[in-house]
Structure formats: structure tokens, C-alpha cells
Amino acid sequence: MPGKTPDKEPVENGGYRGGKDIDMKDKDLKPKGKKADDEMTVVVPPSKASKQSSAPPPNDAEGDVAMDDAEKTGDGEVKVDPVVQTINDIKSNFALLDRAVALFDARFSLRALRSISSIRKRLTPDILAQAISETYTSSSPGAGDAKKLLLAIGRSDVSLGRQPGPEMEIDSEPKASGKNGAKKEPKEVIPEIDIFLAILTQVALHDSKQFQQGFEFSQYLVDRVRSLNRRTLDSLAAKAYFYYSLFAEQLAPLPPSPRSPIVSIRPTLLAALRTAVLRKDVDTQASVIVLLLRNYLLTSHIAQADLLVSHTQFPENAANNQVARFLYYLGRTRAIQLRYTEAHEHLTAATRKAPSSACALGFSHSATKLLLVVELLMGDIPDRATFRQPNMETALQPYLLLVQAVRVGNLGDFETVIAEHADTFGRDGTYTLILRLRQNVIKTGIRMMSLSYSRISLRDICIRLHLGSEESAEYIVAKAIRDGVIEATLDRERGFMKSKEVGDVYATREPGEAFHDRIRACLALHDESVKAMRFPMNQHRLELKNAQEAREREREMAKEIQEGDLDEDDLGGEFEGM
């Protein structure tokens, strides 16, 4: 930052220090929490907010930032009215947005977006209306847009250009001068601030459950965002699309119905995607791809989702939470298409990328559940420790029973679990996948038999696995032998299965492969962390300078050697030192 003043230093550093970290965690807070609402239908927005506030702030990166902000805006104030405080918070973000435009640095807009989650708890239409009316003057060119905002929150009677209250004056004055120099009064409202207020409007409408109104307003907003071509607007635009699609999902014919409004917003989203790609707008691109995928999967248009994935490229440097979601949806698509290995890979990545804080619990739950089912489908038994995690235990209970049934290979248990928890599985969207597990249960059962008995009659197999008939048992066992599930032979005349001796696992290449996999994972982790590291700007120039100096020193030394000023001893010492 070339022109920064010393008093801003700590804030800047804060941005740098935890930059990436905060990015991931906080940005995840809101949307992931949202997803929890939608997918789990357990957590509703208000309770989520309370959960957020109950989270211990010191551990939370977002808490840090919020506190920073509070210190900044609350300079010299002892008692703060919550309404005024909220308005101040909103306004403090304008400064960030201003800076984002001035310095062309997206991180400032990201920080502004991040603060939405903390503002959200206190946001009411009245507060928002006041903030809007204080931002715009009735004569400014943005007045028309401001009127629209006010109309959307049902406060169209509020007049624009209201002067801020006296206590506002006190702290907004030093703040403005501290941040933007003397650029206060004739301030023109930049589109970023405009859109930011519009997003707040969306949030307010969503939290007060005015979905129809929110949807109409979002349509207007999305059109407006598209008409503006500003790179500093990218991250804001992504958010606007996010709420747009969220509103559409909540409207009358709910998603599985082909008449749901989410079908009608697809052209808009696709157009947005095209524009985003053309403009190299990574934020919008990532977020719209994720929204489209979600959209398709909600109406079970698997083929379309698959085509979308194969025809687009998910931006590499997208925000972490978008990557996690993308991987989740991709994993889901692949699981449905029976491409379990890929599904497993994507879902593992998704669960690992999911933030560990309590706010994104819903996402972690959904991803973990799907991952467990996919693991079972692949013939693996998931780790017992997964079910012991304190915040997952209850949610995963039905899955634990399922895993137990599959592990033992008991078809009867398996069917009872399915029948008992059909609703839960249906709600999680794993029901059809779980139905496919039947064959795995049978295979496991056969494997258990083959391990325990060296010779067993087909009739016994049939009875123990509750299969229909001996003939079925014979075919099933034969298939299992062919698929390499067991090492055995069948004797048709006498009707039994004879197991072969099992070889030593350590004589095969399996341990080597497992070892190789782990090493590869570690190496990939190392590479990724190197890539993810953030280096201070212009640091390399300093190093270059040092190198230059060193070279000069060397040259000098060489010169001295040439001139014979340096002793042989000296030289030797030098080398030893090196």
C-alpha cells in the first residue's frame, strides 16, 4: 500500500496476517449456515443467529475483525445505542468499499461482505431505511435506486437526505477524515455502496420471510448488477445472485416440482455465468456454477448437472466455501451416476474443506452422510471415530445403524433400518443410494461365511442370508467369486461352497499401495499449502536488493583478491565460514 498513513497500520496488518484464514472462515459463516437451513430444515435463521452469537468470540476469526471494527467506530463513545451502532457498522463498511474501489483490492469488499453476518442479527427495516436515507441525498443520481430499496423494505415514506443524528456526527467525522481524507460532504454514492445496501435489503427481506417480495427485488437487483461492469463489484454480485436463487427456492411450488420458480431463473443464471466468464469474474463464476448445480439437483436433473460440469471449468482460485460446495454437489452427481471412486474423492475433499466451526454444521452433516453412504457402496466400512464426534453423533445415528447392518452382512437388520429411517434418509437425499446397498450387504455376508467356514452348504448360506432360494444363493455366490469378493469354489453336484486358503496380505502389493496413497496425499498437502501461502508484496525486491549488494561485495572482494590485498588465510577463513 503506497499511500497509507501510520494510524491505519494495525488494521492493515490484521488484514494481512490472517487474511486467507479469515476469508475462509467468515465467508463460510453465512452461506453455509444458510445451507444448513435449507438442507437440514432443522436450523431456522433466528436460531442460527443465536448460535453464532453464542460461539466464543476469541476463537473466532470473525470476532476479531468485528472487534476491530467496533474499536474503530466506537472511538470515544461510552454508551452506544444499538440502532446507532448498527447504522455505524453499516456505514463503516462504506469506507471499506470506498477503499476497495480506490485501491482496486477485492479484499476490502470481502471484509465488508463478511460483516453482514454480524450486522444481520441487529438488522431491521427501520435501521436499514435510516441508513439508506442518510446515505443518499434526494438530489443525488442514485436517488431513484434508493427509492427502490426503500420501497422493497416497505418504508417508502422515509425521505432521503436526512441528516445524521448528533451523536452520529461525533464519531463519523473523525472516522471519515481518518479514512478517506477530506472526502466527506459532496460524496457521490458509488455503485458498490449501492449494491451493498441492496444486499442488506435482500438479507432483511429473507430474514423476515418476505420471499415473494425478496424474489421480485432480487430480479431487479440482478438485472442492475449485470448492467454494471465493474471489477470491484464482483464479490458483491456473487452475493446478490446467491440470495436471488435462495428466494426462488423458497417460493410456492417447492423445488422437486418442475414448476418451481427455480426452473425459471436458470436462463438468468446461465447468462450470468457467461458474462462472468467473459469478464473473468471469478467470484460470480464460482458462485453461479454452484447455484446452477444446486438448482439442477433440486429438480433431479442429473444429466443437466453432469453436462454443466463437463462444459464449464470451475475457477481454480475460487473462495474456499464455494469450492467445498462445488465438490459436494459434484460428489452427489457422481454418486448417483455410480461413479463411486470419483464421488468419494470429491466428497472427502468437501468434508475436509468444510469449515470446522459450528456455524457450518449443516453442510458438514450433509457431506458426511453422503460420504458414509458412498464409502459403504464402495465396499469400505467407515471409520468408527466419525460417529463419535460430539456434534455429529445424533445426526449420524441412523447411519451408524446402517453401517452396523452392512458390516455384519445381516440382510434382515439392513431392511429394518431402511424401513425405520426411510424418512430421514429420504430427507437427506440418500435413500435411493442406500437402496443400492443391498448387494453390498449380501456380499459382506458371503465374505463373512467364507472367512468363517472352510466348507458350507448352499442351503445354509441361503438360510443365514435370508435369500429366496438355493438357486439364488448359488448364482449370487458364483457372482461374488467372479467379482473377487471371495476366494472359493463351488461344487454343484454336492451343493457346497469351499473356501480357498487366504494368502498373507503383506505378501501382496496392497500395503505398498496404501503407503503410496498416504505419501501422495501428504505431498499434495504440502504443495497446496505452499501455493496457499501469502507473501508480502514487494518483498522479493528487497531480496533482490540484498542479492545485488552481496554481488557487489563479492565483486569488491574479487577485486581485492586480484589486487592481492587479501591474504590466503583470510580467504580460507571465508570459505570455512561459508
Partner 1 sequence: MADRQLTTVLTQLKTNPPYAEASALLSRAKLLLLQLNALTPTPATPAAVLALARATYEQGALASIRAKNADAFTRYVAQLQPFYELCGGGGGGGAGPGGPGAEQNKITGLYLLLLLTQGRYGEFHSELEALATKGGSAEADRYLGYPIRLERWLMEGSYDRVWKAMMKKGEVPCEEFGVFSEILTFQIRSEIASSSERAYPSLPLSSTKSLLFLDSEGAVVEFARSRGWIVRDGHIFFPTAQDAGDEGEQDKEMSQMVIENTLGYARQLETIV
**Contacting residues toward partner 1, per CB under 8 A:** 253, 256-259, 299-303, 306, 336-339, 431-432, 435-436, 438-439, 442, 467-469, 471-472, 474-482, 488-493, 509, 512, 516, 519, 523, 526
Q: Please report how close the Cβ of residue 219 comes to partner 1 at its closest, in angstroms.
A: 18
Q: Which is nearer to partner 1, 97 or 476 (CB)?
A: 476
Q: Which is nearer to partner 1, 181 or 258 (CB)?
A: 258
Q: Which is nearer to partner 1, 160 or 480 (CB)?
A: 480
Q: Please report how close the Cβ of residue 200 comes to partner 1 at its closest, in angstroms.
A: 34
Burial of 501 (C-beta count, 10 Å sphere; 0-12/13-18/19+):
exposed
Q: Please report how close the Cβ of residue 63 comes to partner 1 at its closest, in angstroms.
A: 35
Q: Please report how close the Cβ of residue 444 comes to partner 1 at its closest, in angstroms.
A: 12
Q: Please report how close the Cβ of residue 468 comes to partner 1 at its closest, in angstroms.
A: 7
Q: How far apart are CA 2 and CA 307, in angstroms?
A: 46
* Torsional sign, CA 151, 153, 154, 156: negative
Q: Please report how close the Cβ of residue 575 comes to partner 1 at its closest, in angstroms.
A: 23
Q: Which is nearer to partner 1, 170 or 478 (CB)?
A: 478
Considering only CA atoms, which of 380, 503, 492 is closest in space to residue 443?
Answer: 380
Q: Which is nearer to partner 1, 101 or 485 (CB)?
A: 485
Q: Which is nearer to partner 1, 33 or 261 (CB)?
A: 261
C-alpha cell recorded at residue 557:
572482494
Q: How far apart are CA 540 and CA 505, in angstroms?
A: 52
Considering only CA atoms, which of 217, 294, 376, 384 is closest in space to residue 31?
Answer: 294
Contacts of 375 (CB under 8 A, 6+ apart): 344, 381, 382
Q: Which is nearer to partner 1, 96 or 488 (CB)?
A: 488
Q: Which is nearer to partner 1, 107 or 427 (CB)?
A: 427
Q: Are the beta carbons of 488 and 499 closer than 8 angstroms?
A: yes
C-alpha cell recorded at residue 271:
447468462
Q: How far apart are CA 458 and CA 446, in angstroms?
A: 11
Q: Which is nearer to partner 1, 286 or 497 (CB)?
A: 497
Instruction: Quickly list DSSP for 221-272.
Output: HHHHHHH---GGGHHHHHHHHHHHHHHHHHSSS-TTSTTSHHHHTHHHHHHH
**Helix-strand-coil percent breakdown of the chain, rounded to 5?**
70, 0, 25
* Torsional sign, CA 63, 67, 70, 72: negative
Q: Please report how close the Cβ of residue 40 comes to partner 1 at its closest, in angstroms.
A: 17
Q: Please report how close the Cβ of residue 252 comes to partner 1 at its closest, in angstroms.
A: 10
Q: Please report how close the Cβ of residue 256 comes to partner 1 at its closest, in angstroms.
A: 4
Assign 455 to helix, strand or coil. Answer: strand
Contacts of 194 (CB under 8 A, 6+ apart): 142, 145
Assign 333 to helix, strand or coil. Answer: helix
Q: Which is nearer to partner 1, 83 or 478 (CB)?
A: 478
C-alpha cell recorded at residue 109:
469488499
* Torsional sign, CA 535, 102, 2, 16: negative
Q: Please report how close the Cβ of residue 266 comes to partner 1 at its closest, in angstroms.
A: 13
